[in-house]
């Protein structure tokens, strides 16, 4: 397939750019400056480093490798990584063909727009690649090991629960071929992460230990319990209607798998305070599976696919995002960091100041 001539690919790329830049709007983490400062001192600090986000080290390692010493340049780097990864995502969802656009109207795109600085966009890409291998029955041993190694190193909690949910979505005759190399990759990635944390003298509380901090479980469960419908919507957005539709028209085995994966994703999300952010990422394999099954469902073929896409898109835009992050957020909770829409004009004016003057 010549991707450059594929109109659906370009449509998906255009839609994703409009959504992240105009509808959701890009925001950097409130503490993005801390991420930047720590990245500069990696491997050179004698005192213990305690910040939890060091357990997801991808961007800080990239910044350390490049030797960037300017916060503005670091912010541009994060933006460029976001853009490049979005292109790769739009390319790798093309196996869904005309239904691939639907995937852009689920909660993950809100997450990667509002939390630029976290490694979420990398996790989403890796989950797409893994789910694609599963749905296409392409169990390349070394690909599975490599992808799960990177996912585990990138965010081991996402890696662990995704290993479980993808195993549930696999067919019985796929399970062994999928689970063995995936488990090897996950364990290897986690061991590499532990080695890295010891190397940088990490002395903070791990994600596992954080669960048992005072009030963490209580607050997390309350966030979900008190806002359950908004919580579900934040993960699925318009693809909620595909799940409802397939609940009636798919076979019982697949329907059970859908809700088992959903239940595990809810359980995993309840173990931390990031709520909608983690939930929307954990749902990526399920959303892809739902779209894939919908595209091959005989009943679905009786429905005009344009009508389906319209319902998903219209509902996502009409009801808007409802993001649980301590409270129900209708806009990004990250408002204290440098504004992306001020950063770009500032850099452009600086670069072209001599020309324009």
Q: Tens digits of per-residue pLDDT, 312-333?
A: 889 888 887 878 777 788 889 8
Residues 6 or more apart in contact with residue 128 via CB below 8 angstroms: 89, 92, 93, 284, 288
55 neighbors 197 (Cβ within 8 angstroms) = yes
Res. 349: pLDDT tops 90: no
- Per-residue confidence (pLDDT) for residue 202, from 0 to 100: 83
State the average pLDDT for the chain.
90
pTM for the structure as a whole: 0.94
As a whole-number percent, the residues of the chain with pLDDT over 70 amount to 92
Residue 114 CB coordination number (10 Å): 26
- The total number of structural domains that make up the chain: 1
Distance between CA atoms of 236 and 242, rounded to whole angstroms?
A: 9
Within-domain flag for 354 = no
Q: Tens digits of per-residue pLDDT, 268-289?
A: 999 887 888 999 999 999 999 9
Q: 128-132, 214-218, 247-251 — which is least confidently predicted? A: 214-218
- Per-residue confidence (pLDDT) for residue 335, from 0 to 100: 87
Res. 47: pLDDT tops 60: no
Distance between CA atoms of 76 and 343, rounded to whole angstroms?
A: 9
Distance between CA atoms of 177 and 187, rounded to whole angstroms?
A: 17
Average pLDDT over residues 141-155: 97
Reported as a pLDDT band with limits 50, 70 and 90, residue 48 is low
Tell me which residue has tokens 């960037």: 68
Res. 240: pLDDT tops 70: yes
Within-domain flag for 356 = no
Distance between CA atoms of 165 and 269, rounded to whole angstroms?
A: 13
What's phi and psi for 51, nearest 5 deg?
Answer: -65, 130
69-77's contacts with Cβ under 8 Å and 24+ in sequence apart are 69/40, 71/32, 71/33, 71/36, 71/338, 72/338, 72/343, 72/346, 72/347, 74/36, 74/39, 75/28, 75/32, 75/338, 75/340, 75/343, 76/343, 76/347
- Per-residue confidence (pLDDT) for residue 357, from 0 to 100: 60
CA angle 168–174–176, rounded 5-degree value: 90
Within-domain flag for 219 = yes
- Per-residue confidence (pLDDT) for residue 151, from 0 to 100: 98
Element (H, E) at 328: strand 327-329
Q: What's the CA dihedral at 182, 184, 189, 191 to 10 degrees?
A: 150
Q: What's the CA dihedral at 19, 21, 24, 26 to 10 degrees?
A: 140
Reported as a pLDDT band with limits 50, 70 and 90, residue 255 is very high
Res. 304: pLDDT tops 70: no
Give alpha helix (H) positions in 102-215. 108-114, 120-135, 141-154, 156-169, 175-199, 207-210
Distance between CA atoms of 159 and 254, rounded to whole angstroms?
A: 23
Q: Tens digits of per-residue pLDDT, 22-43?
A: 999 999 999 999 999 999 888 7
Res. 300: pLDDT tops 70: no
Q: Tens digits of per-residue pLDDT, 175-216?
A: 999 999 999 999 999 999 999 998 888 877 666 666 666 677
What's phi and psi for 328, nearest 5 deg?
Answer: -80, 115
- Per-residue confidence (pLDDT) for residue 44, from 0 to 100: 75
- Per-residue confidence (pLDDT) for residue 214, from 0 to 100: 64
| Structural domain boundaries enclosing 13 | 3-204+211-345
**Among candidates 308, 288, 297, 295, which has minimal Cα distance to 106?**
288
What's phi and psi for 227, nearest 5 deg?
Answer: -135, 45
Q: Tens digits of per-residue pLDDT, 54-109?
A: 899 999 999 999 999 999 999 999 999 999 999 999 999 999 998 999 999 999 99
């Amino acid at each position: 397939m010549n991707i450059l001539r594929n109109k659906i690919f370009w449509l998906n790329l255009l839609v994703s750019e409009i959504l992240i830049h105009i509808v959701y709007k890009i925001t950097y983490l409130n503490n993005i400056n801390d991420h930047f400062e720590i990245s500069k001192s990696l491997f050179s600090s004698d005192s213990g480093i305690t910040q939890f986000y060091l357990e997801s080290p991808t961007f800080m390692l990239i910044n350390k490798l490049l030797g960037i010493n300017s916060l503005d340049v670091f912010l541009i780097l994060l933006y460029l990584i976001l853009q490049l990864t979005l292109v790769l995502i739009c390319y790798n969802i093309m196996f869904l063909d005309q239904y691939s656009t639907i995937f852009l109207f689920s909660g993950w795109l809100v997450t990667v727009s509002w939390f630029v600085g976290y490694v979420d966009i990398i996790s989403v890409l890796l989950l797409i690649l893994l789910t694609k291998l599963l749905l296409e029955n392409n169990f390349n041993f070394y690909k599975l090991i490599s992808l799960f190694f990177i996912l585990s190193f990138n965010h081991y909690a996402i890696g662990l629960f995704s290993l479980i949910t993808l195993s549930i979505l696999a067919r019985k005759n796929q399970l062994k071929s999928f689970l063995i190399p995936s488990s090897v990759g996950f364990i290897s990635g986690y061991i590499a992460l532990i080695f890295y944390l010891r190397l940088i003298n990490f002395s903070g509380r791990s994600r596992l230990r954080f669960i048992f901090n005072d009030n963490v479980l209580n607050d997390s469960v309350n966030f979900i319990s008190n806002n359950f419908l908004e919580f579900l919507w934040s993960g699925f957005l318009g693809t909620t209607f595909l799940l409802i539709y397939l609940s009636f028209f798919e076979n019982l085995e697949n329907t059970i798998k859908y809700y088992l994966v959903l239940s595990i994703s809810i359980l995993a999300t309840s173990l931390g305070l990031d709520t909608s952010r983690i939930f929307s990422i954990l749902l990526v394999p399920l959303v892809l599976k739902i779209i894939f099954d919908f595209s091959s469902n005989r009943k679905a073929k009786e429905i005009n696919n344009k009508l389906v896409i319209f319902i998903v898109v219209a509902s996502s835009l009409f009801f808007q995002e409802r993001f649980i992050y301590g409270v129900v957020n209708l806009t990004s909770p990250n408002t204290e960091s440098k504004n992306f829409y001020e950063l770009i004009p500032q850099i452009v004016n600086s670069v072209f100041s001599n020309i324009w003057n």
